[in-house]
Amino acid sequence: MGAHSQNRGSVQDADFSAALQTENLRSGMKDCRYFYIDGKWVSPAKAHDFIVVNPATEQPIATISLGSAADVEKAVAVAKRAFESYSETTVHERP
């Protein structure tokens, strides 16, 4: 398979991120390295980029971030908090 992951040390994160963004813009790849949690786009707890490859062309098409247990715990905590009030709303009150 043509996909590979990219692990980075914290000292190199900023340089790697900037280089990856530049390459993504140049190549037309999508940058999907954030998670939508609690109504906003947030960075993962720990960067763990993964290049998504189109299986038909074997060309990279996007960079995503693989979530960690900390990311899941954060999202679940927010969802539980939101469920308390959301579950008491009617279908007509919900967006």
- The DSSP annotation for 26-63 comes to HHT-EEE--EEETTEEE--SS--EEEEE-TTT--EEEE
Instruction: Give me the number of domains the chain comprises.
Output: 1
User: How does pLDDT run across 59-80, given as a tens digit for each residue?
Assistant: 999 999 999 999 999 999 999 9
27-31, 44-48, 86-90: which has the minimum mean pLDDT?
A: 27-31
Structure tokens at 95: 């967006």
> Domain residues for 66?
5-86
Asked if the structure places residue 91 within a domain, the reply is no
C-alpha to C-alpha distances, 25 to 3, 21, 63, 81, 85, nearest whole angstrom: 19, 6, 11, 37, 41
Asked if the structure places residue 18 within a domain, the reply is yes
